[in-house]
Chain A
């Protein structure tokens, strides 16, 4: 468990550079940032500003080119060492939940099975109880035996959120969670996020184009050309 004083996620001079032909693209260009436990932070900025890349780095989905990344006081990446794939997977299981713009539900599995999908790979006690709790919380308990194609977009995203939270993560990463939803559904999802942050004490890191949702975050960080503004 992390100590209350230390930040949950800490990055120092973090770089991510892509090589595309002869061109070097600095998607993340020397960002230093701390994220505290139970914080709700939103990254905003124009397309290509590097906010999604930063999110992936913070979520240990991608390796930085240089700099330092510490999560819960564990060094994920530094000049000296990088975590191997196995430890990264364990870290993701333990700390993270992910929500994406496209919901990535498995079409052949029911809502309940989709929510419980992570436990196809590892076990956690009380999984079913937690699933029921999350379904109630997200208002999809009546949909548990349905297939994803029978759901609306908003419902699908709620299922994806439930799946992201099934392992009781400390951190929820969300990349444009309302990008495929209309404004009414977007507002609903936004409310859910706020509720999760305030009532469940979940740390939320969000990338969004939706100004209303960004506003509901406790802290809004703007990016441009891979740098903090």
Chain B
């Protein structure tokens, strides 16, 4: 027994080339759609991952203490305020905290810098926790110091260049006149780390006699933690200020929102192209089968049957195209990633395009919905065919 669906399927196969071209068109649109949706999803999580790589989401400093080197320089190296090192344990006691790293910023006046002397700043870090939090830092030469009291330093690339230091060279800590060894030079990271000289925090405390003091604490909390709420919590500690990530998150979400608008407008264009393509194909097919449809109506087909018949064709075309396109986008994900990366001025490090089965199903759903919408007009047109018009148009007799 012939079914409407079977008739529709066979009709798609009748004009094989045209159907294939239409399916390719839909598949391409789906590919664009899936890739863009994948980008939308991947870009955000990738950016978040980058943020994660920065190590700590919250920075705790003593109240009034400059937390940016630039501020410190403007103040001529003064204004540093200290917190007792015991604060590390206090912070760590909170189960929401994953890791804590103490830091000591120290500025030294160097009379042999410039005409009237200048400031050199050092960052004392914990050789155990700090490298774990800042995994994105890579070495041009050497490695991190591993002894907490070692007379060793790691230079950011630009700091190393200015001091012309390489691994194995000596460096003289100004003011204290203590000689230390360079054990590592970092690769350029495009961040302020490039200009930083890192020392073990114990060494820095000892050399410049700031024992038991830190200037800031980097805090990494569990993923599930509500950072805003946690920051509130931190303010209960005496005389601290919390450098919030909220603003950074805001910047990122703005960035993502902009990208999303851009991405969605391209997706919309892809959808429109697919829509016009489907409508054209199905409409052509209706016009060609004008008489056939008229005959079907004379044989007892209701308006709704014809409507369904044409609609099935549209849905079939879009479904096949959607599936092909999804598979294609999955196979081509890496290439798409490269393509987008080459266009974007700033891209996060991990996968930009993240495609999963849910996303593919979503895209197929969208494409089929589009098929359903664009099938309405041809189907409606076909359903309105009156049997007599179809027959008369060829019988040529009154």
Given A52-B397, A100-B391, A101-B395, the answer on whether A121 and B10 have CB atoms closer than 8 Å is: no
Given A92-B298, A119-B1, the answer on whether A108 and B14 have CB atoms closer than 8 Å is: yes
Q: Which residues of A contact B345 (CB under 8 A)?
A: none
Is the CB of A62 closer than 8 A to any CB of chain B? yes
Is the CB of B302 closer than 8 A to any CB of chain A? yes
- Select the stretch in B74-82, B191-199, B288-296 that faces chain A: B288-296
Q: In the bound complex, do residue B295 and residue A120 qualify as a contact, i.e. CB atoms below 8 Å apart?
A: no
Q: In the bound complex, do residue B388 and residue A120 qualify as a contact, i.e. CB atoms below 8 Å apart?
A: no
Is the CB of B299 closer than 8 A to any CB of chain A? yes
Q: Which residues of A contact B392 (CB under 8 A)?
A: 56
Is the CB of A199 closer than 8 A to any CB of chain B? no
CB distance from A86 to the nearest CB of B (A): 7
Tell me the complex Cα distance, A25–B388, Å.
Answer: 17
Q: In the bound complex, do residue B292 and residue A106 qualify as a contact, i.e. CB atoms below 8 Å apart?
A: yes
Closest-by-CB residue of A relative to B387 is A61
Is the CB of A175 closer than 8 A to any CB of chain B? yes
Closest-by-CB residue of A relative to B295 is A104
B347-398 residues with Cβ-Cβ distance < 8 A to A are 387-388, 391-392, 394-395, 397-398
Q: In the bound complex, do residue A121 and residue B300 qualify as a contact, i.e. CB atoms below 8 Å apart?
A: yes
Q: In the bound complex, do residue B296 and residue A117 qualify as a contact, i.e. CB atoms below 8 Å apart?
A: yes
Q: In the bound complex, do residue B292 and residue A104 qualify as a contact, i.e. CB atoms below 8 Å apart?
A: yes
Given A93-B300, A104-B291, A122-B300, the answer on whether A109 and B7 have CB atoms closer than 8 Å is: yes
CB distance from A186 to the nearest CB of B (A): 18
Q: Which residues of A contact B150 (CB under 8 A)?
A: none
Given A104-B291, A118-B299, A163-B299, the answer on whether A56 and B388 have CB atoms closer than 8 Å is: yes
A167-218 residues with Cβ-Cβ distance < 8 A to B are 167, 175-176
Tell me the complex Cα distance, A89–B303, Å.
Answer: 9
Q: Which residues of A contact B2 (CB under 8 A)?
A: 109, 113, 116-117, 119-120
B268-296 residues with Cβ-Cβ distance < 8 A to A are 291-292, 295-296
Tell me the complex Cα distance, A207–B299, Å.
Answer: 19
Is the CB of B305 closer than 8 A to any CB of chain A? yes
Tell me the complex Cα distance, A107–B10, Å.
Answer: 10
With an 8 Å Cβ cutoff, the count of chain A residues facing the other chain is: 42
Interface flags for B28-62 (1: CB within 8 Å of A; 0: not) read: 00000000000000000000000000000000000
Closest-by-CB residue of B relative to A96 is B298
Closest-by-CB residue of B relative to A118 is B299
Q: In the bound complex, do residue A25 and residue B398 qualify as a contact, i.e. CB atoms below 8 Å apart?
A: yes
Tell me the complex Cα distance, A113–B305, Å.
Answer: 17
Tell me the complex Cα distance, A113–B6, Å.
Answer: 10
Tell me the complex Cα distance, A123–B300, Å.
Answer: 11
Q: Which residues of B contact A118 (CB under 8 A)?
A: 299-301
Closest-by-CB residue of A relative to B398 is A27
Is the CB of B134 closer than 8 A to any CB of chain A? no
Q: In the bound complex, do residue B7 and residue A120 qualify as a contact, i.e. CB atoms below 8 Å apart?
A: yes
Tell me the complex Cα distance, A10–B398, Å.
Answer: 21
Top 8 nearest A-B pairs by Cβ distance?
A93-B300, A108-B10, A52-B397, A104-B295, A121-B301, A62-B388, A27-B398, A113-B2
With A98-B298, A104-B292 given, can you name 9 additional A-B contacts, CB distance below 8 Å?
A: A50-B398, A62-B388, A89-B302, A92-B300, A93-B300, A100-B295, A100-B391, A106-B292, A176-B395
Between A and B, 24 residue pairs with Cβ closer than 8 Å are: A48-B398, A51-B397, A56-B392, A59-B298, A61-B298, A92-B300, A93-B299, A100-B391, A102-B394, A104-B291, A104-B292, A106-B7, A107-B14, A108-B7, A108-B10, A116-B2, A117-B2, A118-B299, A118-B300, A119-B2, A120-B4, A120-B301, A121-B302, A176-B395
